[in-house]
Amino acid sequence: MKSVYIHVPFCESKCPYCAFSSAVKKTADEETYLKALEAEIAARSPLARGNAISTLYIGGGTPTALSPSAWLGLISIIKGAFRLAPDAEVTAEANPSTLSPRHVGLWRGFVNRVSIGVQSFNDAELAFLGRVHDTRQAEEAALLCADAGFKTSFDLMFGLPGQTLRGWGENLRRAAELSPDHISAYQLTIEPGTLFADLPLSGALTDGYGHYRFAQWFLPRKGYGQYEVASFSKPGEESRHNLNYWADGEYLGLGPSAWSHIGASRSKNAPDLAEYARMMASGKSASVYEENLARAPNARQAAVLALRTKNGIVWRSFKERHGKTLKDEIEEKLARFPKSLVINDGTAVRLTPAGFRVANKIWEEII
Ligand code: SF4
């Protein structure tokens, strides 16, 4: 196990579309969180079995909602428990509203990649999304990170109500001008349990098919190749942490709501900070859910994860891991799609760019 994820469960405010596990931080929360996280890391870091960690991802929530002094504590806990490989990819997620020069100063020599929640370069769109930053802050955050020598990734969102193709194109153009190493483009969806789910919004969303297709056309012309359904990068700047996840690799997840995949098991920590802290204080595991990956539904999920990437399902390793029967079943189901969407060269099966545009329909066939 060489990949570690750490979840920071705080945000400055809750975005109305967000289904991630996070809450607005109260005064005592940081200390509670760090104490519980330290206990979990002490208990579970031996699962790394002495391996040098090759990817560490600190996500959330909003890691930059942690104060610089909490970051000092977090870095010291991580360094005390894990050995990072010399070329380890260490990513921190950042929001333009909370990222400060002090964070950047503390990260030097530890973090080397910053994923910035830009979402849009249009202030009206940012206001609709309930973001607490504006376009100017997003640009400043990008420049701050780039000047400090960090690799950067931008998250962008399309399919907002009233968002025209021209408006989306302008967002992409401004993103490319800032020259991040990586861009993730997500369609706005209304998730159950979010504030948007209580509003009559679903009919107002823009059909994102054309927007997505435009990103697939525009970003490669700016030097960003598509390597996953929602991910584009400059050559060699793919997210190694996420590639391991999509390849169904092992990872250790720490913090409230974090998922782990170790051996044949996938488990999830308690999402609520108070419950997570209680479990850690009483010496229990923080896990509240566990499933066995050897079962067929999980193998199908692994197939879908693999089809998210341009590498697709590599038949040899899939067969070794999940058996010939399942491999044959999936191969037969995917053979029903035209070659314009799905290509099987006998070694691997993968989606074409047109296949990525209808990926949900293809995945449904497997699941
Ligand atoms: S900042 Fe990110 S994690 Fe926090 S509420 Fe907004 S979308 Fe969710």
In which domain, by residue range, is 85 found?
3-246
61 CB within 6 A, ligand 1: yes
Pocket test residue of 22, 128, 195 for ligand 1, highest count of atoms within 8 A of CB: 22
Q: Same domain, yes or no, for 216 and 79? A: yes
186 CB within 6 A, ligand 1: no
CATH (domain of 347)? 1.10.10
Q: Which of ligand 1's atoms lies nearest the C-alpha of 11?
A: 4
Is the whole model's pTM more than 0.85, yes or no?
yes
The first and second tokens of residue 62, run together, are 């909003």
CA distance 180 to 175: 7
Q: Report helix, strand or coil for 187.
A: strand
Average of per-residue pLDDT across 81-96: 97
Q: Same domain, yes or no, for 26 and 166? A: yes
**Strand arrangement, sheet containing 287-292:** 259-262, 265-269, 287-292
Question: Considering the domain boundaries, does residue 26 fall inside one?
Answer: yes
Q: How confident is the model over 334-356, as pLDDT tens digits? A: 999 999 999 999 999 999 999 99
Confidence of residue 1 (pLDDT cuts 50, 70, 90): confident
Length, in residues, of the chain: 367
Contact 30, 66 (CB under 8 A): yes
Contact 212, 195 (CB under 8 A): no
Question: Considering the domain boundaries, does residue 357 fall inside one?
Answer: yes
Q: What CA–CA distances, in Å, run from 69 to 73, 74, 77, 153?
A: 7, 9, 13, 25
Pocket test residue of 7, 18, 66, 132 for ligand 1, highest count of atoms within 8 A of CB: 18
The first and second tokens of residue 337, run together, are 């799609």
Which of these three, 204, 230, 246, is where a domain ends?
A: 246
15 CB within 6 A, ligand 1: yes
22 CB within 6 A, ligand 1: yes
CATH (domain of 132)? 3.20.20.70
CA distance 262 to 290: 11
Q: Same domain, yes or no, for 206 and 306? A: no
Q: How confident is the model over 210-242, as pLDDT tens digits? A: 999 999 999 999 999 999 999 999 999 999 999
Residue whose CA is closest, atom 3 of ligand 1? Answer: 61
Question: Considering the domain boundaries, does residue 252 fall inside one?
Answer: no
Q: What CA–CA distances, in Å, run from 75 to 22, 221, 284?
A: 21, 38, 24
Q: Tell me the CA–centroid distance for residue 22 and ligand 1, in Å.
A: 7
Q: Tell me the CA–centroid distance for residue 251 and ligand 1, in Å.
A: 23
pLDDT value at 202 more than 70: no
Q: Same domain, yes or no, for 303 and 191? A: no
Q: Which amino acid, one-letter code, is at 4?
A: V
Q: Tell me the CA–centroid distance for residue 117 and ligand 1, in Å.
A: 8
The first and second tokens of residue 233, run together, are 């990068």
Q: What CA–CA distances, in Å, run from 33 to 6, 60, 67, 110, 165?
A: 12, 13, 12, 21, 42
Question: Considering the domain boundaries, does residue 256 fall inside one?
Answer: no
Handedness of CA 43, 48, 51, 52 (dihedral sign): negative
Q: How confident is the model over 26-37, as pLDDT tens digits? A: 777 999 999 999
The first and second tokens of residue 20, run together, are 């991630």
Pocket test residue of 11, 14, 194, 196 for ligand 1, highest count of atoms within 8 A of CB: 11
Q: Same domain, yes or no, for 144 and 33? A: yes
Q: Same domain, yes or no, for 321 and 179? A: no
Number of domains making up the chain? 2
Q: Same domain, yes or no, for 319 and 225? A: no
Q: Same domain, yes or no, for 236 and 321? A: no
Q: Same domain, yes or no, for 129 and 189? A: yes
60 CB within 6 A, ligand 1: yes
